[in-house]
Amino acid sequence: MDTNPLALVIRALERAALQSTVVPYKRFHVLFPRTVPLTRRYEVLDAALRSLNDAPDIDYGVLLACDNGLPGPEFFRRYQKQRWDTYVAAMGDPRFKSATLKGKRELVAAERQRVHQHALRAREHEREREQQCA
């Protein structure tokens, strides 16, 4: 079994995307030895997201889930930073309006569906490449 944390995080996110499931934060943290500090874990997560995200409008981080089913605040910060106009259209301008739980759930559901479709396309593309090489 691979013990490289980056490979483990990438594999967990890919599997969740392909199966239309989520990666609970508890399971994410179990991928690391207890001695690895939180800052290092999130650095590895960022590297995994960069590896999986071949487009700035796809964020596999949406697949991480707190106990309430939503990703943590870092996902919403990334979403605002990378897709401000889309965020404001869906949730309202955060300078003037707090995001509602309903709005967050709708945004997350749509983004998880986009990530699922992206993962399916990536897997199909990989299979096509393998067939061409064979």
Would you state the pLDDT for residue 66?
97
Query: Would you list the domain boundaries of the chain?
Result: 5-133
Would you state the pLDDT for residue 2?
60
Instruction: Write the DSSP string, 21-88.
Output: --EEHHHHHHTS-TTS-HHHHHHHHHHHHHHH-SSTT--GGGGEE-TTSS--HHHHHHHHHH-HHHHH
At 8-33, the pLDDT tens digits run 999 999 999 999 999 999 999 999 99
pTM: 0.89
Alpha-carbon distances, residue 79 vs 15, 104, 114 (angstroms): 22, 11, 13
Average pLDDT, the chain: 92
User: What average pLDDT does range 80-102 have in this prediction?
Assistant: 91
Would you state the pLDDT for residue 134?
67
Would you state the pLDDT for residue 128?
86
pLDDT greater than 60 at residue 64: yes
